[in-house]
Structure formats: C-alpha cells, structure tokens
Amino acid sequence: MIQSLPCSQDTELAVLACALERPEQCMATITESLGDDMNAFYIPSHQMLYMAMVMLWSKDGKFDAITLNNCLAQSGEQDRAGGAALIGELMTQSSVPILLEKYLTTLKAAAIRRTLILELTAVASAAYDLTSSLEPLMEQAETAVMKVRQFAKGSTSGLVSVKKPMMEALDEIQKAKLGEAQPHGISTGFKAIDAKLGGFRPGTLHLIGARPGMGKSALMMGMAEDMAWNRGLPVGVFSLEMSAAGLMHRSLASQSGIAIGDLMGSNQLSMLQMQRLATAAENGNKGTMFVDDTASVTILDLRSRVRQGVINLKINAAFVDYAQLVKGSTKRSQDNRVDEIGEISRGLKMIAKECNIPIVALVQLNRVVESRPDNMPKLSDLKGSGDLEQDADSVSLLFRQDYYDKGKFHEADQGFGEEFEPNGDALCIVAKNRSGETGNCWLKFDGERTKFSDR
C-alpha cells in the first residue's frame, strides 16, 4: 500500500490567507519560520503563490490581491499558481492571524516529515545494493539527517533575499559607530584577537599556525575553555596529537594557576593548591566541553564526528589539533601529500558551512621559519598546501621570541614599534582575515601554566 506524503492543505491555505490579509504583520513571522523554501508547502499552487509573496514582500514590504495576481501574470505562473481563483479563495478563507504561529508549527511539522521520508527512502534504496561501499552509504545517511535538521532549524539553501542580512550588517555598523560593537561571532576569549576577527562566526574556518613549541595548543584550549566554561557554549575538541587526559592536565594548570610541573608531583601540593585544583576541576562537570582524542581519523571520519557533536551535543564550535594529522579519505589522495592537504582543507571548510559552526584548526608551519634571522612566521609558511591559505577565513600565526633566545627582542628592528620582553610576550599575527583587517595582536604567555592571556 502506497501512503501519501504528510500534508495539511487547510493549514497551508490558512498561512497564505494570513499573509495576504496582513502582510506587514505576518510575513516576517512566516519567513523567519519557513525561510524562502517553497517546499514548506506541499501543494504546487501553494508553493508558487508563497514564492510570489516572498518576492513582493522582500521588494516592497507589502502586497495585496491585485499586486500578487499581477506578479504571477508577469512571471507566467498565474495558471500554475491557481490564478485569481486561488487568491479569491484565500480572501474568503477562515483564518485567524493570532493563530499564525500555531499554523506554522503544524505546517512545518508536515514538511519535516516529508523531507525525512524522501531523504531516508533514498538511503534505504541505496542500502539494498550489496555491491555498494558502506562508507559512502553511511555518509549519505548522515547527510540526509543533517539536511532535515537544518530545515527544522529554519536553515535554507539556494538564493535568499538580502533584506535580512543587509539590515543586520547596517545594525553592526551603527553599533560600531556608537562604540557598542560586540564580537559578531563567538568571542575568542582574547580582546585583541576579537578586535581583529570579530569573534568566530558560524560557517567559518580559522587556522592558527606555528612551529612546534610555540603554544598553539594552549592558545586553542584557552579559546575552547572560554567558550565552554565562561560562556556556557558546548564545544568539541578533536585532539589527534594529545590524549584527553593530557589536555585536561593543561586545563587544570591553566584554570587553577598551578604550574603543570607541580601538578605532576601532586604529593607536594599544599591544601590551598588542592582546593584550587578541585575548584578548577568543577568545570568538567558543566558538561559543555567534549573531547575526542582518536589519533587516526580521515576527513570523512572527522566530518561524521563533528556532525554527531552538532546533532547530539549541540556543540557551537569545533577545535582540531592539528589539521595535518587528519588523513585523506582515499588512497589516491594519501599518496600525494599536497592533494591530501587540499582535500583536508576543503573538507574542514565544508564541515564548517554544513554544520553552521566555526571550525578552529591548528596547523604546523614549515621549517623555513627557523632559518630566518628573525624567525618571524609568514603566511607562505603554511605546511603542505596553498589550499590551507585559500580555504581559511582567517589565518593567525603565533610567535614567541622567548622560545628562541629568552632575551629582549626589539620590535623596532622589525617594524612593529614595540619590543618583546623576556617575560612571556607573545605575538599573534592575523595574516589573513576575510572579514576585516589584518595585523598584530599582543598576548602574554605563562609557560608554566600553559596559559595565554590579554597583554
């Protein structure tokens, strides 16, 4: 027995009638819930009519039966959309605008069920083919579920009106003029970096590059800890290099203010230090930081794990330590390191966009940095592939002169206008920034407690 797909024709008519009766009051609520996706409606004529309403409202902020009918006539869709007859039916439809949100809930629930049925039916059909590989099939299933979840949250694909993002951009500019600007994305936890990047925005890829020993893992964990424990935002940390226990040793040192060397000799800790340690450990009970320390993962594995984090744990950001340890998904890419890094780079960007969260990934820099007289990192030092620079929304390079000579280093010689002191000065160079300016961000680094802070 073939079942028809879920739909409620009366509810679809009620939503369209509310829009026609009071477009100025109702269309904002409708588009906020449904976006510009005509598939929220099941009846083809209702789909065409809704898209015409969205177009007129985006253009003029209002419409009526006459302008709506004219719009359909000009586009040649009048007959497919039911023409004047359907518009006339809407004008006599018994709908109550005060119940609009209730109508939308019913309408969207039916649309979600239809999407789920269609997407998973395709997966089920593919699963019957015993000659197909399991990995792409599982990828297809996860993609299907993610697509449904994005629709359920109101995410839409394809062309959309610029009206809403234009107003958001204008609001941000006005706040900046008034000195009220806040980071446009999730704060990094460091004021100087926020001033350059504006925080980490959803759907963006951010790289932090440095030579080994510079403290890039510590900087990454500082950002993750601020999001998870100071702001209450769930985050996922994917540590391919260090174990979860090793990361938490560093976090305990950073949060308690106790040197990591003292933590390893815990029998020498004072009662006060033990109390501070217990207080720091309470962060782990907040349930907002999640760690995956699987050592060997492909980019497809990572994509699946991040998706699961978004779906099941509601993570707001993902941190990867570090990008070059991720493997390509095919033997062909693994045989060519440049191609493999390119696949990983594009994969990271795709994960960010698909899951609509920021991805922060650490990257190793080439050894050529060590051969320079000043040891100053450059954007061209990204190791493995130019795709890393191309795909990233921002690239920050970490530098500590203390690491090289433990002495005073005069910035004036390098054109920076200040000087490094042998007391933990660190420079985070924003070398690429797709959403703003580049430049230098000064930080302080406490090596004993593996902690960065604002200078």
Q: Assess if residue 333 is contained within a domain.
A: yes
309 and 378 fall within a common domain:
yes
114 and 249 fall within a common domain:
no
Q: Which of 128-132, 314-318, 327-331, 386-390 has the lowest mean pLDDT?
A: 327-331
242 and 390 fall within a common domain:
yes
Closest to 143 (Cα-Cα) out of 271, 306, 281: 306
145 and 274 fall within a common domain:
no
CATH code assigned at 140:
1.10.860.10
Q: What is the tens place of the pLDDT at every residue in 243-271? A: 888 888 888 888 888 887 777 765 677 78
Mean of the pLDDT values across residues 299-318?
Answer: 87
Q: Which of 155-164, 318-327, 434-443 has the lowest mean pLDDT?
A: 155-164
| pLDDT bracket for residue 401 (50, 70, 90) | confident
Q: What is the pLDDT of residue 331?
A: 58
Q: What is the pLDDT of residue 223?
A: 94
374 and 231 fall within a common domain:
yes
Mean of the pLDDT values across residues 202-219?
Answer: 90
Percent of the chain with pLDDT over 90: 16
Q: Assess if residue 217 is contained within a domain.
A: yes
Q: Assess if residue 242 is contained within a domain.
A: yes
Bigger pLDDT: 110 vs 417: 110
Q: What is the tens place of the pLDDT at every residue in 113-162? A: 888 888 888 888 888 888 877 877 887 787 777 777 767 765 444 555 66
Q: Assess if residue 436 is contained within a domain.
A: yes
Roughly what angle, to the nearest 10 degrees, separates helices 44-60 and 9-21?
20
Q: Assess if residue 118 is contained within a domain.
A: yes
Give residue 388's domain range.
Answer: 183-454
Q: What is the tens place of the pLDDT at every residue in 50-88? A: 888 888 887 777 788 888 888 888 877 776 767 677 888
Q: End of a domain among 138, 156, 174? A: 156
Mean of the pLDDT values across residues 187-201?
Answer: 91
pLDDT at residue 227 is higher than 90: yes
425-433 and 394-399: which strand pairing?
antiparallel
pLDDT at residue 428 is higher than 70: yes
Preceding amide of 103 cis, omega within 30: no
Mean of the pLDDT values across residues 387-394?
Answer: 86
Q: Which of 150-154, 252-256, 276-280, 412-416 has the lowest mean pLDDT?
A: 412-416
122 and 261 fall within a common domain:
no
Q: Assess if residue 1 is contained within a domain.
A: no
Burial class (CB in 10 A: 0-12, 13-18, 19+), 371: exposed
306 and 380 fall within a common domain:
yes
This model's pTM is above 0.95:
no
| pLDDT bracket for residue 443 (50, 70, 90) | very high
293 and 380 fall within a common domain:
yes
143 and 223 fall within a common domain:
no
* Average of per-residue pLDDT values in the chain: 81
Q: Assess if residue 88 is contained within a domain.
A: yes
C-alpha distance from residue 152 to each of 43, 142, 441 (Å) = 19, 15, 39
267 and 416 fall within a common domain:
yes
C-alpha distance from residue 36 to each of 33, 71, 80 (Å) = 9, 17, 19
Q: Assess if residue 104 is contained within a domain.
A: yes
